[in-house]
């Protein structure tokens, strides 16, 4: 029987729609701590209130960060409404939609294309400006955040880097630099006068004064002017390209197309809830960069470097596939070995049960009695097989006490044998020898 999610996605016509709807639905489920199955079991009024709370949460993000755009609320909420209606959960959305923020004019919404950014890079000879453009394109960071980034916030990983944004604040998060962006940044820093770890990463042209939010925006504005890159880039469309946010938009769309987990995409843009923040506190820089590497070919701008990055990504995918297949084979072999060992252990247990049947009358075997009847070798074998047969209780037998008993018994047997030999040598016929031999038999 098809699950609610399977039925819903089967009803969608295109893969693009499915991918977009899945993105927004899973963000919603993560925030409300529900899933496809649990949400439809709630009362409609309860669901309605949850959705209202979610819209208010999104509006607060929009107010503080500008993300999501007020114009995107319809796209964000439509998948939720469609999923519920597909599962015959219907109610009026009027009061929910009344909570949406007012839309803004639809200009300045298109992301930069790779060619747009290449034009910007080709229009400037400044190492700082090139590094800054590469930085925005690779990290997706807000232009307004760049003045506070310091050199020590850049950590080299392999041939790229991890960047910490808003360090030591509640808004702290990490994103990454592609190899070409990191190379451009290093070239810029090599000619910098001030390069201490606590120095700001990007400065004004005098190499000493830190950027402000306005001067950071001016870098992009001036390079655009040099490239003669118009706001709408020659398109006859009401939607054009904003000064700075289009770098961020391109970053988001590119990562989403590269099969990254949605929580990584959100986190590397500074979008996170308390739960996801706690999760990423435990994610190493190396693991974050390993996820980011999936997007490096798509984010890379230099055409020859892009081809090389695509080849490296293909090799990585092949290696991961081979590793996955090998892991599956090893796990299957391990399971088979474990089953064989369990069968052998069960057979040995049954043999001991038959041989020492007097010790197996109760719910548990009489371990003390077994320890007296078994040899040390048998005890060792028992202790090897019993954890496989019985995992809930400890049925192992201490070997040390058995050794001491055997040592004592062996010593007494030798003394009795010596006495018998002595009485036989003396020709004693008083019956003492018979009593000693009986004692010996009892051992």
Average pLDDT, rounded, for the chain: 82
Least confident range of 125-129, 235-239, 281-285: 235-239
Asked whether the predicted pLDDT for residue 111 surpasses 60, the reply is: yes
What pLDDT score does 324 carry? 73
Q: Is the pLDDT of residue 237 over 50?
A: no
What is the SS3 assignment for the chain?
CCCHHHHHHHCCCCHHHHHHHHHHHHHHHHHHCCCHHHHCCCCHHHHHHHHHHHHHHHHHHHHHHCCCCHHHHHHHHHHHHHHHHHCCCCCCCHHHHCCCCCCCCCCCCCCCCHHHHHHHHHCCCCHHHHHHHHHHHHHCCCHHHHHHCEHHHEEEECCEEEEEECCCCCCCEEEEECHHHHHHHHHHHHCCCCCCCCCECCECCCCCCECCHHHHHHHHHHHHHHHCCCCCCCCCCCCCCCCCHHHHHHHHHHHHCCCCCHHHHHHCCCCCCHHHHHHHHCCCHHHHHHHHHHHHHHHCCCHHHHHHHHHHHHHHHHHHHHHHHHHHHHHHHHHHHHHHHHHHHHHHHHHHHHHCHHHCCCCCCCHHHHHHHCCHHHHHHHHHHHHHHCCCCCCCCCHHHHHHHHHHHHHHHHHHHHHHHHHHHHCCCCCHHHHHHHHHHHC
- Of the listed ranges 9-23, 285-299, 400-414, the one predicted with least confidence: 400-414
Q: Residue 232 pLDDT > 70, yes or no?
A: no
> Which residue did the predictor score with more confidence, 256 or 133?
133
Q: What mean pLDDT do residues 269-278 have?
A: 76
In percent, the amount of the chain with pLDDT more than 70 equals 83
User: 84 falls in which pLDDT band (50, 70, 90)?
Assistant: very high
pLDDT for 236 equals: 35
Please state which of the ranges 209-223, 292-306, 395-409 shows the lowest mean pLDDT.
395-409
pLDDT at 240: 44
Which of 184-193, 243-252, 254-263 is modeled with the greatest confidence?
184-193
pLDDT reading at 102 higher than 60: yes
302-320 pLDDT tens trace: 877 777 777 776 776 677 7
Please give the pLDDT value at position 25. Answer: 93
pLDDT, mean of residues 237-247? 56
* Model confidence band, residue 274 (pLDDT cutoffs 50, 70, 90): low
């Amino acid at each position: 029987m098809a699950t609610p999610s399977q039925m819903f996605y089967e009803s969608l016509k295109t893969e693009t729609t499915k991918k977009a709807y899945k993105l927004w639905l899973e963000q919603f489920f993560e925030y409300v701590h529900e899933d496809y199955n649990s949400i439809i079991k709630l009362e409609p009024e309860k669901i309605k209130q949850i959705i209202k709370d979610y819209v208010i949460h999104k509006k607060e993000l929009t107010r503080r960060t500008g993300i999501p755009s007020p114009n995107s609320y319809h796209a964000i909420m439509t998948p939720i409404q469609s999923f519920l209606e597909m599962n015959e959960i219907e109610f009026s959305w009027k009061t929910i939609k009344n909570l949406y923020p007012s839309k803004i004019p639809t200009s300045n919404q298109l992301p930069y294309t790779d060619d747009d950014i290449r034009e910007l890079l080709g229009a400037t000879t400044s190492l700082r400006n090139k590094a800054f453009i590469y930085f925005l394109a690779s990290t997706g960071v807000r232009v307004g955040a760049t003045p506070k980034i310091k050199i020590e916030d850049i950590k080299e990983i392999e041939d790229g880097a991890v960047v910490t944004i808003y360090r030591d604040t509640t808004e702290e998060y990490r994103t990454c630099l592609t190899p070409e962006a990191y190379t451009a940044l290093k070239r810029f820093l090599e000619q910098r006068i001030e390069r201490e770890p606590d120095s700001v990463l990007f400065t004004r042209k005098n190499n000493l004064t830190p950027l402000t939010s306005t001067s950071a925006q001016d870098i992009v504005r001036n390079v655009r002017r040099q490239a003669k890159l118009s706001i709408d880039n020659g398109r006859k469309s009401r939607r054009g390209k904003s000064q700075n946010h289009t770098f961020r938009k391109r970053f988001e769309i590119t990562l989403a197309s590269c099969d990254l987990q949605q929580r990584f995409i959100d986190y590397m843009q500074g979008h996170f809830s308390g739960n996801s923040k706690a999760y990423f506190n435990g994610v190493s820089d190396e693991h974050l960069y390993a996820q980011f590497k999936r997007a490096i070919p798509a984010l890379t701008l230099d055409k020859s470097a892009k081809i090389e990055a695509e080849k490296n990504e293909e090799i990585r995918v092949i290696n991961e596939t081979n590793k996955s297949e090998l892991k599956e084979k090893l796990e299957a072999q391990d399971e088979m070995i474990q089953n064989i060992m369990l069968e052998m252990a069960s057979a040995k247990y049954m043999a001991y049960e038959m041989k020492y049947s007097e010790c197996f009358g109760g719910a548990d075997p009489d371990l003390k009695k077994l320890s007296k009847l078994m040899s040390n070798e048998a005890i060792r074998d028992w202790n090897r097989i019993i954890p496989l047969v019985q995992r809930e209780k400890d049925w192992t037998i201490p070997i040390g006490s058995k050794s001491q008993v055997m040592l004592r018994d062996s010593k007494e047997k030798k003394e009795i044998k010596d006495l018998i030999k002595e009485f036989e040598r003396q020709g004693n016929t008083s019956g003492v020898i018979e009593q000693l031999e009986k004692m010996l038999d009892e051992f």
